[in-house]
Amino acid sequence: MKRNLLAGLLVAIMLLVLIAPVEANDAAASSPILVYVNGQQMTFDVPPQILSGRTMVPLRAIFEALGAEVEWDDSTQTVSATKGASVVVLTIGSTCAMVNGAIVSIDQPGVVIDGRTLVPVRFVAEAFGIGVVWDAQTNSVIISDAEARTPTTTAAFPGRIAIVTTTEEQYPEEYYAARAFVQRFGDDKIIHRTWPYSFPIERERMISVLQEIAADPEVRALIISQAVVNTNEAVDELLAIREDIFIVYVLPAELQEDVAVRADMILDIDTSGLGARIVRQAHAMGAQTFIHYSFPRHMGVPILANRRDDMSAEAERLGMRFQDTLAPDPMGNGGVAATQLFLLDDVPRQIQQHGVNTAFFGTNCGMQPPLISGAVEGGAIFVQPCCPSPYHGYPGGLGIEGMMASGRFTEEHPHEILIPRDPAAVINDLRSAVESAGASGRISTWPSSSAMLLTTMGVEYAIKWINGDVPNNRDSFDMDALAEIGRAYNQQVSGEAIAVRLNTLSINGQIYSNFIQVASDYLVF
């Protein structure tokens, strides 16, 4: 399905009803902001403005220039937008828009200035089918249809960038993401190194990896994916040599207060918001029942237990039935095989009891293939695996050959070990498999692996930092540019302009301004 600009139009209407006006003198900009739509400069009766560090642009005029039809049902307070074969429906007061079975959250406030609705340019970037680029040199916002722009987000850069990943066997997805940048720019521009396999007990080798990188005067930025245990100590040694390198942590394993004082930028999955997002997406795909599989050992982990509680609360809010079901622990006597055999038997039973509008989720990596195969065979719903990635669980669950090696579903090796594949080819294979199984509209995923997405966002943003296109301090990031990088990568691998959502980490009132949590909207096959 072709995602388009309709969600932006719907949200514009909702914002006109719900948002409160603010005084125009709250806005400030150092110079006039220019807006170009498909190469044509726009003129407005209320100009774009900067509010609280955000670039705000007039929504209605921009989307009218791009074209779409909107209908309003006053009796139900529902608005529908149609463009071609695509239909989007939104009920006023809801925080979500329905777009061809996918859900679009409204997470940025708009303002009314002199009777016009202005929204953050990031919002425009997240609307379907629209690309937005901020040109700092000319103070311009450049907006174009998806078909009119290329998926890559950055060009050449001076100096070199270093990327440190885990080994291919341990976590292949970030490894492949790094290799893609080497292939794109060459090993004279991209240095790719790996942590030692036994990194928890090889701190000195980790230090030597970063000391080698620090010794290269051409290195301008360092992306560490994953920022595993002992990364902080290795970075301390690097900083003793060089303080001018832009450092990005991806998927950090150490405490937020410790990583925040070392890295310039930290990128992680928005775990705290993931539970509610999964249930909302299941509801958008037609689920009436949500079944959560886990076991006591996992439910003793606070972050997993909190996610389960968030899922239950969101299901209750949406009027869905939530069921928490115990499964055998994969680390128990029967191992992963016992867990998978239980699910192969239980998923059909649950579908028979609750009907096909039942969504399934499991907290363990080895659970994913039987959950996916059971949902597909029974006509039920599967939103995403425990680790957001189209590589994770889907090949085994859909019976696709040649995407992975067999037998690697253990706690020690939680990811399927994959043969290197082009991500776009993987998505095409999964889409074809779902369609062939008659499960279209019932299976979804993040369009790109979270590890690949976050690694790509880190490298691409570093290039912009090197080129002076974004702020050069850890307290002032161009969130619009970062979100656009993520959206562009999603489009590159899936063919659809699927947005990413960003927020900064806040724990007990402590805000970590350089710790950015990332969530992707869903690709529905």
Please write the tens of the pLDDT for every residue from 348-366.
999 999 999 999 999 999 9
- At 41, the pLDDT band (50, 70, 90 cuts) reads confident
pLDDT for residue 24: 33
C-alpha of 39 from chain center: 29
Output the CA torsion sign for 267, 269, 273, 279.
positive
pLDDT in tens, 199-250: 989 999 999 999 999 999 999 999 999 999 999 999 999 999 999 999 999 9
- At 55, the pLDDT band (50, 70, 90 cuts) reads confident
pLDDT in tens, 278-325: 999 999 999 999 999 999 999 998 889 999 999 999 999 999 999 999
Question: Does the pLDDT value for residue 10 go beyond 70?
Answer: no
pLDDT for residue 71: 66
pLDDT in tens, 408-442: 333 343 333 333 457 777 888 899 999 999 999 99
Helix (H, G, I), strand (E, B) or coil at 195: coil
pLDDT for residue 97: 54
C-alpha of 223 from chain center: 18
Q: How many other CB atoms are found less than 10 A from the CB of residue 269?
A: 19
| Domain positions in the chain | 6-148, 160-270+451-524, 286-382+390-445
CA atoms of 334 and 328, how far apart (whole Å): 8
Residue type, 105: S
Percent of the chain with pLDDT over 90: 50
**By 3-state DSSP, what share of the chain in percent is helix, strand and coil, each rounded to 5?**
40, 25, 35
At CB < 8 A and 24+ separation, what contacts does 405-411 make?
Answer: 409/330, 409/336, 409/340, 409/365, 409/366, 409/369, 410/330, 410/335, 410/336, 410/366, 411/330, 411/331
Architecture of domain 6-148 in this structure: 2-Layer Sandwich (3.30)
**CATH ID of 160-270+451-524, from 1.10.10.10, 3.20.20.150, 3.40.50.11400, 3.30.70.20:** 3.40.50.11400
160-270+451-524 matches 6-148 in CATH topology: no
The pLDDT mean for the chain works out to 80
pLDDT in tens, 440-498: 999 999 999 999 999 999 999 999 999 999 987 777 889 989 999 999 999 888 888 88
117, 12 in Cβ contact below 8 A? yes
- At 29, the pLDDT band (50, 70, 90 cuts) reads very low
CA atoms of 144 and 100, how far apart (whole Å): 22
- Helix orientation angle between 6-18 and 59-66, rounded to the nearest 10 degrees: 150
58, 44 in Cβ contact below 8 A? yes
At the topology level of CATH, where does 286-382+390-445 sit? Answer: Rossmann fold (3.40.50)
Contacts of 172 (CB under 8 A, 6+ apart): 415, 417, 418, 420
Question: Does the pLDDT value for residue 91 go beyond 90?
Answer: no
More confident residue, 400 or 161: 161
CA atoms of 428 and 502, how far apart (whole Å): 27
- At 153, the pLDDT band (50, 70, 90 cuts) reads very low
